[in-house]
Amino acid sequence: MAYSLFETAELGPLISKNRTVRSATNEHLSDPSGQITPAWVDSLEALARGGVGIIITGHLSVDRDQRADEGQAVLDQETDPALLSLAAQRVHQHGALLIAQISHSGGKARPGVNGRPPLSPGDLTPQLLDRLVEQFRHAARTAQMAGFDGVQVHCAHNYLLSSFLNLRWNHREDAYGGSLENRFRLIRRVLLAIRDACGPRFALLVKVDNDSCDDLPALLRLFQSAGVDGIELSGLDMARRDGQKTPFFLDRLLAAWEGLTVPIFPVGGVFSRAAAEKVLAAGAPFVSLSRALICQPDFVERMEKGQTESPCLACNHCYNVYRQRRCAVCSIPKSSPSWRRCSAPTPPDFPRARSPDRERARSHFCPPVPALKKKQKK
């Protein structure tokens, strides 16, 4: 079936104004305690105003004591309900849909932030498994009460649920380890608890990567059998693809999806309208974007008005900008000395991201700037 990028589209119980999805990207806009902030709300509204059909928030931790970093927001009983509701209202007023990505960091939780060690699959007792299911259920219900349109359960990139799927991390010998069906058991419990709490009119999505499981087609069949409304398919090697601006997981992901009916939306390497339409032409009913929307939050609207390609360099340096995720090259204020250098600070705890090609970035974005004159000593 041939899809059009700017036509309305169904996703489970939802109707989106187009087929674009903002893939979950950690905004790093919480306060130090993990509370969401007005700036977090503003960032979501900017995407909605910029034409995105379905906006998935950055990962929201269901466990305040297991955050991935000090900028990660939390979705629990202490989350400000007024700001949550405001986010939904402001996204909806632009005709977009809002999905909360809910996550447990597992082995990616930082002891320096949380004051306690991270959790791995082998650490979870039966009581902790029950508590985890309840944390996801409560987070989903909280989002629903605030007016969100659904949740996306994060089952990718070696976060806790993903690590249960992965034989490298899951060495359990009980009902939650061994076979793929057993390793999926916790995820199934989480999904069924959310569906039971929120009902069929609340979208239930998942995010999966192409490396967490030894049998991706079988895993996708398990997700479909669990009744999810959509699957976002991602990859783990984005950081090794500096400068690659084509969909780089498409063939493998579509092959794994063959024979299934649950909608999928691949993410990775979409920086142009042609690339987005290539994903749709291949049979995927939705297309996800991340870095192009970091560079230009209104990129979808720009495509609809005729812009063919994102100016994003795919340099990945935006992942080095810790507070308020943004393009490290093109969004530095021109009044800042950093703008002259086309650079941004690189924290040592982001080793996976490479420095961009400075000269290429400078020539692409920045007009020549006269050298700063040094004051002469009298």
Structure tokens given for 6 = 């700017």
**Sign of CA pseudo-dihedral 243, 107, 130, 214:** positive
Structure tokens given for 286 = 């939705």
Distance between CA 352 and CA 365 in Å, rounded?
24
Q: How many CA atoms lie within 13 A of 135 on its CB side?
A: 25
As separate numbers, helices (DSSP H) first and strands (DSSP E) second, the chain gives: 14, 11
pLDDT of 326: 64
Q: Which residues pair with 55 in a beta bridge?
A: 22, 98
Architecture of domain 9-314: Alpha-Beta Barrel (3.20)
User: What ranges in the chain are assigned the alpha helix state H?
Assistant: 38-49, 81-92, 111-114, 126-145, 160-165, 180-183, 185-198, 216-225, 250-257, 273-281, 291-295, 299-304, 337-341, 358-365
Buried/exposed code over 143-153 (b: 16+ C-beta within 10 A; e: otherwise)? bbebebbbbbb
Return per-residue pLDDT of the chain as tens, 378 residues.
679 999 999 999 999 999 999 999 988 899 999 999 999 999 999 999 999 999 999 999 999 999 999 899 999 999 999 999 999 999 999 999 999 999 999 999 999 999 999 999 999 999 999 999 999 999 999 999 999 999 999 999 999 999 999 999 999 999 999 999 999 999 999 999 999 999 999 999 999 987 788 899 999 999 999 999 999 998 655 445 556 677 777 788 888 888 999 999 888 889 999 999 999 998 999 999 999 999 999 999 999 999 999 998 887 777 665 555 567 555 444 444 433 333 333 333 333 333 333 333 333 333 333 343 444 555
pLDDT of 243: 61
Domain layout of the chain by residue ranges: 9-314, 315-368
Pair 194, 140: CB distance under 8 Å: yes
Tokens 């579509």 locate to 254
Structure tokens given for 338 = 């950093």
Structure tokens given for 117 = 């060690």
Measuring CA to CA, which residue among 199, 189, 94 is closest to residue 144?
199
Q: What is the pTM of this model?
A: 0.86
pLDDT of 324: 59
Distances in Å between the Cα of 332 and the Cα atoms of 281, 324, 361, 364, 366 are 36, 12, 13, 14, 11
DSSP at 74:
B
Q: How many CA atoms lie within 13 A of 282 on its CB side?
A: 22
